[in-house]
Amino acid sequence: MTASTSPTLARPPFPAHKRAHALRPLALAALLCLGPSLAQASPEKAAKFYEDAQQRFEKGDLSGASIQLKNTIQEDNKMLAAHLLLGKVLFKNGELKGAEAAFEEAIRQGVSRSELAIPMAQLYLQLGERKKLLDQINTTGLGPAQQAEVLTLRGTAYALSGNNTLAAKSFADAKAIDPRSAAPLMAEAQMLLRAGERDKARATAQRATELAPDNGLTWYTLATILQATQDLKGALAAQEKALAINPKQVDARVSRAALLLSLGRQKDAEDDLALLAAAKQADPRASYMRAILAAKRGDEAAAKKSYAETVTMIDPMPPGLLIVNEPLLMAGALSNNALGNREKARGYLETLIGQNPRHYAAQVLMASILLETRDYGKAQPMLENLQRANPEDTQVMYLLGSVHLARKRYQQATEMFERAAQRAGANAGDALRELGFSQLGMGQDKLGQGNLEKAFAANPGDARAGVQLAMIYARQGQSARALQTAQAIVKLDPNNLTMLNFLGNIKGRSGDKAGAREAFTQVLAKDPAFRPAGINLSWLDIEEKRFEEARARLKQMLGRVKDDPDVLFELGILELRAGRNAEAMLNWQRADEVQRADPRPGLSIIDLLSSQKQFDKALEAAKLLAGKHPGKLPVQLALGRAYLAVGDATNARLSFQDATKLAEFDAEKQILIGRMQLQAGNPDGAAYNVQKALQARPDDQAALVLQVEVEARRGDNAKLDAALKTLSSKYPGSLPTLMTVANVAMLRGQLPLAQSNYRAAMDKSPNTGTAILLVRAQIAAGETDKALAFLEDWARKQPDDRLLLKALAEVQLQAGKNEAARKSYTKLMSLEPEDPSILSGYASLLLRIGDPAAAAMAEKALKLAPGNPDLTDLLGWILVKSGNLDAGLRHLREARLRSPGNGEIRFHLAYALAKSGRKAEAKEELNAALNASNRVQASPELAQLKSELGV
């Protein structure tokens, strides 16, 4: 296929908005693998194919656009714009699964989620993936009109999920942002109808038609409301208006046919259905109506054929789409029943009535089975229904508490176990134990420990309570008590190797390494194949750097059980400690491949890749690990950090939001996540982390410091002052307080106050980080020479401090000391030859002084951190400034898609587009740059471009 090949004609476009079932397969993965070898790939050809595809898409030639995009991806699989446009083409053509795959590939390669918010939200609604929409799609980075559309789609998802309160709020927010849009009114009218508020629904739909009288969808919406309120003639009139505006509107045509059948106009209904068939518009409701009409005529063969068509379309539909669509559920049930598919018909009917269970004892048993098999999503609602039916059943309370505990919803679990323990009386041992676990999860350590002690005292054979208590005592430094508890457990069952091994762990935690080694050796003497003791003994060897002994033991264990994941993981740690990174990686990769239960090998892989600055590879590893372990807190944190490392703040925020839910009331984890949220530009998310941390530990200093930083980022001066006052009153003069006061003063431009606090902090704890902050305050005060002198003096005292040297180079560059900066960067590159931030700083210096080596330096930096939008932008800008417009434009487009909220990047793209003659697109990008939250800095080039484009 070449650029001049004439694409084949596409079939008539298939409306996507109700056709999740009509999916044509697209071998996207195969398409992505069809490209030529790297030696043959041509970005220039790819750009030409892409421009042709874009023009075809704008003209409605979806098939032609698809072919040219295939050619684009064959030439350049990394072109973000091609993957993005491919998703839009497939979506418009009704190929929803193919569109989803294309959009996900675009996101995987680096397109910002904000760029895909609206089409992905529409896609998820059509696929019935409402949870995905609500979890992943938000208004971050969008303009007012786009925000209103996303809020409308989110409102629809909330409404279909049964949460009308949040739905109404989303619709209200959408209307407030864009009062001229009819979309929120149409969606709200449907919600009101489902809630039984028919008059409000009708009035709301009527307002939509008044707001957008030339929009066929507003009339179709009104027609559905009128039909539901039994105003059939009014509904028919509204459908006819919809079809007059757009005769190809499938939903209006299907609904009109159903109305005509209701009114006894059989022939007219058949004519509408015939029009749909002639246009090759497949719809299960239309097929079902054809079956009904055929049955009325006595044509059993035709009826059977139409029933089969209905089933063929409905059966593959996602359950999420079907569960809220009664017409489709009934059509599926009736059609399957007519064809003799009793079990499938029963399944559809059970979906309809499954929310109202009747058999109490059977539901309790089912809930316990679901709990045992970890199917918590089904167990919880079932148990909640049972509890409403019988609030005093202690068994149901215990089971429901266990579900909440398993899902780390500690507050709800605590409430259930407290009630169960109160009602169980003398038999409350198990409930007390689980209550203790829940309270520990909430950060209520004393209460949790107390209930575990009660449970263990009531039943000394309760090993779960005893083990947890011994670990608590060990952490508290109560070594004697920890040892006493562990020995009590072992005494009850002296031959229990698991407990003997646990006793060795407690001895090790208490600092008795010799006693721990003796215990592990004793276990292995009884059973040489007892893996936990072998691993623990090897761990002792590793800590003591007895690598050869540990390696021999672990390999012997692998000889007994090939590919034992725990042994492979431990062997990886050994090799890392021994300085053999490649061998460590191989062991962890194998440990990750052979099991899906333990994320530790995958986390170790991510850490090692990140330490080697292979950030793209680390992100890929993190994505794979998150797919295997979506509910594990360390995995979500690793994924968020990996996204941040490549500059994808939007996806990082989503990962940290998931982590917040998993962390519950763990104060340290919440503070850690809050700081990461700030790095990802999400102060509101970080504020919630502070709230959770302070709930667990009131007056925690780290949480109070974070609270100040959050309010500073949010820009609420009153709340900032209050937070600062609280911190200063509770921890006056402490190092964290001094640093926080200085940072806030810096933010507010109170430079003398900032400098005095940074100096006080330096007096308490001299370090390079504080020195750099003091220098920044001096520079902000216009004291650049003073700052440079201070930094040079500090550098003489710390000659091997690379962070300090990097700061010195940056200050020299900022101060215009080009030759001094060059020397500093040269020294830095000799120490850190593969640090992309150093290379990019040097490239910026070379660009300033007109050195043609700037492009090669920027390209080297980007190769070390591929996908980083700032480095991509830097290379693109250098290429444009050096006259290589086509190559520069390609990099700038990619940078803009990866970081659409960066005004500087969008200005650079606008500049390049204007140079290439694409004035309209350049003007659009320049306006976006000027309105971005991270605005472009003033410069002569910006002023000239604004004048040239009339902005």
- Given a cut of 90, whether residue 166 has pLDDT beyond it is yes
The verdict on 501 and 417 lying in the same domain is: no
Flag whether pLDDT at 400 surpasses 90.
yes
Three-state SS for 191-231 is HHHHCCCHHHHHHHHHHHHHHCCCCHHHHHHHHHHHHHCCC
Q: What is the DSSP letter of 933?
A: S
Q: Is residue 282 part of a domain?
A: no
pLDDT at residue 482 tops 50: yes
How many CB atoms are closer than 10 A to CB 875?
28
Tell me, what CATH number does 783's domain have? 1.25.40.10
| Residue 934: strand, helix, or coil | strand
Higher pLDDT among residues 641 and 6, named by residue: 641
Q: Are residues 805 and 863 in the same domain?
A: no
Q: Which two tokens stand for residue 520?
A: 């592990």
Residue 146's SS3 state is: helix
Rounded to the nearest integer, the mean pLDDT of the chain is 85
What pLDDT is recorded for position 912? 94
pTM: 0.48
828 and 915 housed in the same domain: no
Confidence band of 349 (pLDDT split at 50, 70, 90):
low
Domain assignment present for 330:
no
Q: Please name the residue ranges forming H helices in 212-318.
A: 216-228, 232-245, 250-262, 266-278, 284-297, 300-314
- Examine the pLDDT at 366 and tell me if it is beyond 70: no
pLDDT of 161 above 60? yes
8 Å CB contact between 451 and 414: no
882 and 811 in one domain?
Answer: no
Same domain, 418 and 511: no
The predicted structure's pLDDT at residue 17: 34
How many domains does the chain contain in total? 6
State yes or no: pLDDT of 357 exceeds 60: no
Q: What pLDDT is recorded for position 699?
A: 86
* DSSP per-residue codes, 1-70: --TTPPPPPPPSP---TT-TT-PPP--HHHHHT-SPPTTT--HHHHHHHHHHHHHHHHHT-HHHHHHHHH
Of 77, 111, 145, which residue sits at a domain end? 111
551: pLDDT confidence band, cut at 50, 70 and 90?
A: very high
Q: Give the tens place of pLDDT for each residue, 407-432.
A: 878 888 999 999 999 888 777 888 99
Instruction: Determine the pLDDT at residue 39.
Output: 40
Tell whether the model's pLDDT for residue 323 goes beyond 80.
no
Which of residues 194 and 682 earns the better pLDDT score?
A: 682
pLDDT at residue 22 is higher than 70: no
User: Is residue 511 located within the same domain as residue 532?
Assistant: no
List, for residues 682-711, the tens digit of each pLDDT value: 999 999 999 999 987 888 899 999 999 999
Closest CA to 899 of 217, 110, 41: 110
Closest CA to 505 of 523, 493, 492, 491: 523
pLDDT at 735: 93
Pair 512, 422 in one domain:
no
Please compute the mean of the pLDDT values over residues 150-166 and round it to a whole number. Answer: 90
Return the number of other C-beta atoms located less than 10 Å from residue 515's C-beta: 16
pLDDT of the residue at 697:
82
- Position 137 in a domain: no
**Residue 796 counted as domain residue:** yes
Give the per-residue pLDDT at 152.
95
Over residues 55-72, mean pLDDT? 88
More confident residue, 796 or 359: 796
pLDDT of 350 reads: 61
- Tell me which of 833, 849, 883 is where a domain ends: 833
394-406 vs 360-372: helix crossing angle, rounded to 10: 30
On the question of pLDDT at 539 being above 50, the answer is: yes
Lowest mean pLDDT among 24-33, 105-114, 634-643: 24-33
Looking at residue 800, what is its pLDDT?
Answer: 75
Answer whether residue 21 shows pLDDT above 90: no
Residue 29 has a pLDDT of 31
Pick from 16-20, 324-328, 330-334, 525-529: least confident: 16-20
Task: State the Cα–Cα distance between residues 234 and 264, nearest whole angstrom.
Answer: 16
Q: What is the DSSP code string of 379-436? A: HHHHHHHHHHH-TT-HHHHHHHHHHHHHTT-HHHHHHHHHHHHHHHGGG-HHHHHHHH
The pLDDT of residue 621 is above 60: yes
- Rounded CA-CA distance 551/570 in Å is 9
Type of residue at 617: K
Is the model's pLDDT at 330 over the cut of 80? no
Q: Is there a single domain that holds both residue 496 and residue 577?
A: no
Give me the pLDDT at residue 363, please: 56
Q: Does 532 lie in the same domain as 522?
A: no
Residue-wise pLDDT tens digits, 906-949:
999 999 999 999 999 999 999 988 887 677 888 888 899 999 99
Distance CA 156, CA 277 (A): 30
The model's pLDDT over 250-269, given as tens digits with 9 standing for 90+, comes to: 888 888 888 888 777 888 88
Amino acid, single-letter form, for residue 808: L
**Whether residue 11 has pLDDT greater than 50:** no
pLDDT for res 38? 38
Distance CA 274, CA 253 (A): 10
pLDDT of residue 333: 72
Determine the Cα–Cα distance for residues 628 and 647; give it in Å rounded to an integer. Answer: 24
Instruction: Decide if pLDDT at 352 tops 70.
Output: no
Distance separating alpha carbons of residues 689 and 311, to the nearest angstrom: 48
Local confidence band at 390 (pLDDT 50, 70, 90 cut-offs): confident
Tokens of 543: 């800590």
Q: Which residues pair with 934 in a beta bridge?
A: 902
Together in a domain, 519 and 540: no
Residues 523 and 539 in one domain: no
Does position 209 have pLDDT exceeding 70, yes or no? yes
- Greatest mean pLDDT range, 141-155, 305-319, 424-438: 141-155
Distance CA 708, CA 743 (A): 10
- Evaluate whether 522 touches 500 at the Cβ level (below 8 Å): yes
> DSSP assignment, residue 932?
S
Q: What is the dihedral of CA 864, 868, 869, 870, to 10 degrees?
A: -60
Instruction: Please state, in angstroms and rounded to a whole number, the distance separating the CA atoms of residues 483 and 611.
Output: 38
Q: Give residue 488's domain range.
A: 460-527
Angle at 801 between CA 800 and CA 806, to 5 degrees: 120
* Highest mean pLDDT of the ranges 339-343, 460-464, 622-626, 927-931: 622-626
Say if 379 falls within a structural domain.
yes
pLDDT in tens, 741-771: 999 999 888 999 999 999 999 999 888 889 8
My answer on whether 877 and 950 are in the same domain is yes
Q: Is the pLDDT of residue 114 over 90?
A: no
CA 602 to chain centre: 18
Asked whether residue 201 is assigned to any structural domain, the reply reads: no
Per-residue pLDDT tens for 210-243? 999 999 999 999 998 888 777 888 999 999 999 9
CA distance 689 to 686: 5
Residue 688 in domain? no
Q: Report yes or no on 606 lying in a domain.
A: no
Give me the pLDDT at residue 834, please. Answer: 86
Of the three residues 111, 145, 179, the one that is the final residue of a domain is 111
